[in-house]
Structure 1
Amino acid sequence: MNFTLECEREDDGRWLAEVAELPGALAYGSSANEAMAKAEVLALRVLAERLEHGEVRPIEINISLPAAA
C-alpha cells in the first residue's frame, strides 16, 4: 500500500500535512517537516491499530514525501 503525504501552508502560517489515503489523518506543525512527521506517525498508528484489531492483513508500506514543502 502506498501513502502520500500532502503538505500546504495555512493562512495563519501553520503547516498542514495530510495522508491522502487515510481520511482524517492530518496534522499541523510549525514547519512543513514537523507537520509531515506528525502525519506520518499518525498514519503508522492507524495502521498499527488496524493490524492489532484484525481489520487488515500485514502489507508492504511505502510513504511518499513531497519533493519540497
Structure 2
Amino acid sequence: MVLPMNRDANEEVLRQFDMNMMYGPCVGMKRIDRWNRASSLGLSPPDDVYRLLTSAASEVCADSLWDARV
C-alpha cells in the first residue's frame, strides 16, 4: 500500500487503526506500542501504520485518538 503524503491523510490512516478493535484496546498506550503488541499476538496490524509511526519524516501523533479523552 502506498502511504499518503498528506498529513491529514496520514492521521486518517492512524485514526482508522485506533478505531479498529481487531488489534486490541488502545486506551493508555502509544500507537507504536499497540502496533507491536498486535504484531506479537499474530494479529497482522497494517504495515502502512508501522511505517507512518517509525518514519523520521512523518509528523504524526504518537498518541491514540482516545488519549486523554477516556
Task: Give TM-score scaled by structure 1 length.
Answer: 0.32
Task: Give TM-score scaled by structure 2 length.
Answer: 0.31
Higher-helix-fraction structure? 2
| Structure of higher CA gyration radius | 1
